[in-house]
Chain A
Amino acid sequence: MPEPAEREAVADEFWAFSLDLYAHPDVAAACLRLQDERGLDVNLLLLCCWLARSGRGRLSEGDLAAAEARAAPWRRDIIEPLRAVRRALKTMPDAAPLYAESKKLELHAEREEQRVIIPGKLRNRAAAAGAEADLAANLHLYLARRGHSTDAADDLISALQSAS
């Protein structure tokens, strides 16, 4: 297990990568569709992308199972209730300041979830030529584990290619 400071730096790197990627509207839209229509976790989708594009390669079944197990309580007990509150506030008249706060809190919770889903053992190597193949393999693994056809990742992969 890496030292706490090293894990902190890795978590920062993952978060910065996610903010950059999510700034591309097509990527954000494709992630949200997978979340809303197929029940997938955006942070796990981003983890698949980050590991591949940072040269850390492919997720194993075990890594993914562990990440899903750690993500589940965050998603179910914290992030989804916060999201429900935020969406309710959005429709309330005169609730704009509270809506902004709820959004900030939800984003903070997303970041905390990211910390817990990073695998304990990470490869450290320069980004490889096969990063895009690793990215597709990671996404396909996640989709297959959740019982979806790998085609479901096509829109996201295409948005990611345009964003790189």
Chain B
Amino acid sequence: MLEDRIETLRSRHAHIEDEINKEISRPLPDPATITDLKRQKLRIKDEIFQLEHQH
């Protein structure tokens, strides 16, 4: 159950990473979008860390 949740989060993390790379490679990347995506990525990383260090 916990592993499933961590796996889901890892997949979302990878998806956001792709989104960031797509935004960066656009002709005129939007810094606000990139910042927002990076924040989302960090929140997921935080959650993964908390789940992995629950005990």
Contacts and interface: CB of A to CB of B under 8 A. Distances in A.
B13 to A, nearest CB: 11
Given A9-B35, A12-B38, A12-B39, A107 B50 contact: yes
A19 B35 contact: no
A15 B45 CA distance: 10
Interface string A11-27: 01001100110110000
Nearest to B41: A16
B25 interface: no
Chain B interface: which size bin? 10 to 19
A103 interface: yes
A104 B49 CA distance: 10
Interface residues of A, number: 13
B42 interface: yes
Contacts of A20: 45
A22 B49 contact: yes
Interface string A125-161: 0000000000000000000000000000000000000
A75 B46 CA distance: 21
A9 B42 CA distance: 11
B42 A23 contact: no
B52 interface: yes
Contacts of A103: 50, 53-54
B50 A16 contact: no
A22 B49 CA distance: 9
A19 B45 CA distance: 8
Contacts of B35: 5, 9
Interface string B22-55: 0000000000000100110110011001101110
B35 to A, nearest CB: 7
A16 B42 contact: yes
A100 interface: yes
Nearest to B52: A23
